[in-house]
Structure 1
């Protein structure tokens, strides 16, 4: 796993497939946005310590959606450190294992990529302590929940308007180019979500796969949104 600084108080934790983000508030509270694969808890704790932070300060884990490379280590970390697990209401049943994870409608070129992604071990059933809806406050950095359907029905973006930061989960990708995220359950909804996120005009965009956008992020998102059909 690689630990990559994004901006003050924000780091990316990059795994072989997928990534998570660590945010530190002025109070010292730590928030993890997504949680890597199911065996990643130790690596995440080591990364936190390498920043001279204490894993015991992990206060919440916000899951952007129900896929295995985002949910994986959430339960183990939450159990160890007393963190609250937060997710959108519509993906919470799949995260808990009460419903199957919704299957994507794959484009032809997505099929081999999807099979590669399935090499990540399945996430265990994971509790959700707080189910949120669009616009709900998330309790850190002035963050609010942005319901972002299309990738999954309950995909969730996290917007920190005061800081100009947007976590998009898999709604946006930067794999060689800025693009609509892949493996969507509803492409039309995913495109509408992309346009809504672009309209937030963030200065830093933290995506689920690929490097964060930290330069001209708003302009780039707006251009791609206008061109995506």
Structure 2
């Protein structure tokens, strides 16, 4: 491994899966996503020019490389990697991918401390109201990776997405300080990261079976519920016709529209836990 790149000190394989793990979908003619255990990463483009959005779970770089080759060919290499945020399940294989691909990585500047070894995310909240996956969330890595010597660059302030001229990024904090979503106006496709997901992520059974329902961000890693609610309002106002979430299956049409509207209106009961150290923004 390049000495200028460092994976987090607590990086490890997480023994967790779902019935969707290892499956891939072509959501749009140029948009593909793959479920890596319990999280999705996305590839946008064609064999001549494509971008990777997020970098999956720890210890899964070969799986990501294999999927890229299956879609774009044996010498597939992205023009860039876009990170929605830096949690372990979105950057788990990033360091190893950068060993294979010398490409720029773009993220919101507020995520930089967690991508340059300067700051760890808060530890997951095992006390939060929720199911089994919330209770065992202490096993999840929270230490920062360090790609400061790689080509880590800030997303442009004007909202454009490098290498993807039809897309723009949307600031969606709450789940993490600098989380972003990606939106394409022409077909109203939304890559929502963990701001809005389509599975109840703290429930072991629902994650395993990938039960479809519009939900707010994973409870055990969300630190600012006021910002998270504002982010959901912002995404609903875009009137997306398709959503590809960080967790769960893609959703479209009336089910998406109705689900998003309900989430905005009832976020305090659907998404915000009744108790937990980050509820009301107060860590205890």
TM-score by length of 1: 0.88
Query: 1:53: which partner in 2?
Result: 73
CA distance in 2 between counterparts of 1:55 and 1:158 reads 26
Q: Are the equivalent residues in 2 in contact too, given 1:104–1:185 (CA < 8 A)?
A: no
Deviations along 1:34-89, one digit per CA (max 9) or x if unpaired, are: 11023221111111222243554311111111110001112322332222111111
Tell whether the 8 Å contact from 1:77 to 1:83 is kept in structure 2 after alignment. Answer: no
Inter-CA distance 182–135: structure 2 relative to 1 (3 Å threshold): farther
Aligned equivalents of 2:226, 2:75: Cα separation in 1: 40
The structure-2 alpha-carbon separation of the partners of 1:44 and 1:117, relative to structure 1 and needing over 3 Å to count, comes to: farther
Q: Which segments of 5 or more consecutive residues in structure 1 lack a partner in the other structure?
A: none
Structure 1 residues 59, 170: closer, same or farther in 2, change over 3 A?
same
Q: Considering Cα pairs closer than 8 Å and 6+ residues apart, tell me whether 1 or 2 has the greater RCO.
A: 2
1:182 aligns with 2:203: no
State the partner residue of 2:195.
171
Shift of 1:7: 2.2
Alignment of 1:136-155 (within 5 A): 136-139=159-162, 140-155=164-179
2:24 is aligned with 1:6? no
- The answer for unaligned runs of 5 or more in structure 2 is 1-21, 200-210, 269-284
Pick one of 153, 169, 180 that aligns with 1:130: 153
- Secondary structure (helix, strand or coil) at the match of 2:34 reads strand
Task: State how 1:194-213 maps to structure 2 within 5 Å.
Answer: 194-213=232-251
Q: Output one character per residue of 1:139-179: Cα deviation in whole Å (capped at 9) or x when no partner.
A: 21422121111101111111122231111111111113101
Q: Secondary structure at the match of 2:186?
A: coil
Match of 1:80 in 2: 100
Contact kept, 8 Å, 1:174 with 1:209, in 2: the verdict is: yes
Give the TM-score taking structure 2 as reference length: 0.72
Q: Is the 8 A contact 1:36 1:71 kept in 2?
A: yes
Mapped pair 1:29 → 2:49: yes
CA 88–52 in structure 1, closer or farther in 2 if over 3 Å, else same:
closer
Q: Does 1:64 align with 2:88?
A: no
RMSD: 2.4
In the other structure, the counterpart of 2:19 is none
Size of the alignment, in residue pairs?
228
State how far apart, in whole Å, the 1-side matches of 2:133 and 2:42 are. 23
